[in-house]
Chain A
Amino acid sequence: MSRIGVFICHCGSNIAGTVDVARVVEAARSFPNVVVADDNKYTCSDPGQQSIKEAIVEYNLDRIVIASCSPRMHELTFRKMLKDTSINPYMLEIANIREQCSWVHKDIEAGTVKAIDLVKMATAKVDKDTPLFTTTIPINKRALVIGGGIAGMQAALDIADAGYPVTIVEAEPSLGGKMVMLDKTFPTMDCSACICTPKMADVGSHPNITVKTLSEVEQVSGYVGNFEVTIREKAKYVDYATCTGCGLCETKCPTKVASEFDQGLGQRKAIYKPFAQAVPSKPTIDAAHCRKLTSDKCGVCEKLCPTKAINFADEDKLTTETYGAIVVAIGYKLIDWGALYGEYGGGRYSDVISGLQFERLVNASGPTEGHITRPSDGTEPKTVAIIKCVGSRDPEKGRSYCSRACCMYGAKHAHQYLDKVPDGRCYVFYMDVRTPGKGYDEFYMNTQHDGAVYLRGRVSKIFEQGGKLICKGEDTLIGKQVEVAADMVVLETAMVPADAADRLGSMLGVTRDKDLWLSEAHPKLRPVETNSGGIYLAGTCQGPKDIPDSVAQASAAAMKVAILFSKDELESNAMIAGSDASLCNGCGACVNICPYSAITLEEVTRRENSRMVTRQVSRVNPGLCQGCGACTVACKPGAMDLKGFSDEQIMKEVEALCQW
């Protein structure tokens, strides 16, 4: 016989306004095994908690029901309260009579009847509660950062500075991400490379940081504090231990390829460093274009290399290591506007370029050494049209969201163009100008004062006529169609999730939102956590952001990692699955269904029917089990059950609702 106490909360008038609390208390007294039922103005307050503690002692209660707000709100509060009493914190059930009763119903009679039912169900469930205990999981204090852009570098530096070892995995041959491709950064116009490359150098030389470039995460298993991660380090064909980065190989390589770093506007060699300040400052061979690797000819780099660092027989290396936490910072890519915007030429006109291409054009170390020239003929464009929201805020063609940074970098591009081509004309087509941020709106105003003509309207079509790119559009403020005959058009294209987001998301158990960005655990209160313990998000992989926001989020993610690593071990979830070996027939259905690989079959020898029997039974790893309960339904003999949500408890709840 259990001894149940039921405590009904008024929550001021939040509950009492629609639920007759006195009637609920009265009804609760009649439920089986209820020893005491009482009400309280604010149960979660100190006096409220005190009165429950006193009742536990006075009536020798062994479990309690609290009818109040949602368990999502205060279940943990009350569990904590029970730690100070004789009752196990899990001998508690909450009846949600606020969010799911008093707040959604207006009729007092109906609300009261429902509240009584909800308390009834909770009472039936608590009657079958059993004490639950947590175990502890050791924490491996090493962090993995996926992505070496500005967010990943910031997170890695912060974690490393906190004293923990970090491995940073970058898919490209160098750290730096998108930021290092930019020319200047708004609104201060400091040189992007000048503030980004020192960070790259810091990461490269930090004693706590290991950098793996040209690498990808191949496989992840395990759980918070204990992730087993397999990393594929692709063949570089250059031994970084002996290479001094002298660059002689690059000068003599006969193969030229369009440079990814210069967005196709410049060229690189088949053995190359993507840009001068690359970290690590050593070249890689592009196997798809190298003559030696494709047709076994050439090999000039091998002959020239003074340290004999070239190794054409190099292969991908797989390493598996254990990490306690993972920061995902894989960034974004730009939308493929060519496929979506046939009306802008769909890529047929070489002088219609993306904003990132413009960054390379205007960059002093870019393919034109900072001279703004047309890719088609190398002449200086005297009229430039900038079109914003290409793919953003356009659910018909692109994405419905705002990419957040384009208004500012669009203004930056206009400013840079007018600065470098003083007799040039610049037209900016926009839908709205969104410039919230320190010094942002002032920057936009200055750009207008520079002479940029802002036209509020979309461009419906771009076509070539007489060597000019005619942009047909609309100025909605004067209600007229406009045509701009431009020499060059810059499209400020939408940010979309990086290609790796899909694979990594499912590998790490991080969900993706409607636009396929990786989802944070809570949009306001848990912006860098994910729903998977020990996995955090930094930068644009979570949604479009500018550099300041990416850096802030990266430091926040690093802080979360540092908090996790500040403990030596972690308390595990108590409400997990458990298998009854006497019922288990070893069929393995639970092993197959478990999304966390938390269940294994193991051989046991046990006495059954007065005989010793050796057979396979399932066993749940408490560190891996997350308590979803999928296995319980798959279990045919009914051996698997979920603590805290057992079959018996749920059945009792259903019965209580219908029959009491």
Chain B
Amino acid sequence: MSVVDEKWEPTVLAFCCHWCTYSGADLAGLNRMNYPANIRVLRVPCSGRVNPQYVLTAFNKGCDGVLVCGCHPGDCHYVSGNYYAKRRMMAFKRLLEYTGLEPERFQVRWISGSEAGKFRDTVVDFCEKVRALGPYTGGAVSLSEGLGAGAELGVGAELGVGAELPQGGDAQ
């Protein structure tokens, strides 16, 4: 791992669906649970709204970890959005890992509106893992540059030839 500024704090972005995970996060607040302040929640109506492109952009612009969270499979407020999310994100995650991203930096989790504890545990665990990996310095970065709006996985796959990309933040 490269020399890290002692004051370095990881920037962690979480896309949370309005109906389940966002309300679970609110419940964690209501219960005064404690978790690392590194997490920034970005509210989306549904995990199915999360375009893989946003994730690429987040890593590209300097996030150290990205979480995508939604309702449990079968519980989607919009019937099936989280299934779309699951399929997209799992394929996308493999692509990211292929380009050298450490698997721990990008996670997909299903957290319901009543699972405040699970939200807290997920954030604690995720932030810890990202912190251990250190700042994100490469990987998928250049991938997103060429992507137009609304790029689906087909487009991402073309860019999967990023074998020459740097080996993520794994600079031990």
Contacts and interface: CB of A to CB of B under 8 A. Distances in A.
Q: Give yes or no for direct A-B contact (beta carbon below 8 Å).
A: yes
Interface of A: 70-73, 96, 98-101, 103-107, 110-111, 113-114, 117-118, 121, 509, 511-512, 531, 575, 593, 595-596, 626-630, 632-640, 642, 645, 647-648, 650-651, 653-655, 657-659
A657 B13 contact: yes
A595 B42 contact: no
Contacts of B23: 72
B166 interface: no
B30 A633 contact: no
B48 interface: yes
A98 to B, nearest CB: 7
Contact of B25 (A99, A110, A651): A99
Contacts of B169: none
19 contacts: A99-B30, A100-B26, A103-B29, A103-B32, A104-B29, A628-B46, A628-B49, A633-B49, A633-B50, A633-B88, A635-B152, A642-B49, A645-B49, A647-B53, A650-B42, A651-B57, A654-B61, A657-B40, A658-B11
A114 B14 CA distance: 13
Which 5 residue pairs of A and B lie closest in terms of their CB atoms, listed nearest first? Answer: A99-B29, A638-B150, A629-B49, A628-B78, A110-B37
A645 to B, nearest CB: 6
Given A511-B74, A629-B45, A629-B48, A654 B37 contact: no
Given A99-B28, A531-B19, 18 more contacts: A72-B22, A96-B26, A100-B29, A103-B30, A104-B32, A104-B34, A509-B79, A511-B77, A575-B45, A630-B84, A645-B49, A647-B150, A651-B53, A654-B57, A657-B13, A657-B40, A657-B63, A658-B63
Contacts of A645: 44-45, 49
Contacts of B142: none
B80 interface: yes
B158 to A, nearest CB: 12
B35 interface: yes
A626 B79 CA distance: 11
Contacts of B40: 114, 117-118, 121, 657
B11 A632 contact: no
A630 B49 contact: yes
A98 B26 CA distance: 9
B34 A105 contact: yes
Nearest to B84: A630
B162 interface: no
A638 to B, nearest CB: 3
Nearest to A644: B45
Contacts of B52: 633
B29 A633 contact: no
Contacts of A531: 19, 77
B100 to A, nearest CB: 20
B43 A659 contact: no
B5 to A, nearest CB: 15
Taking each of A70, A114, A633, A635, which has the highest tally of chain B beta carbons within 10 Å of its own beta carbon? A633
Nearest to A519: B75
A640 B152 CA distance: 13
Given A635-B150, A642-B45, A99 B80 contact: no
B159 interface: no
B33 interface: yes
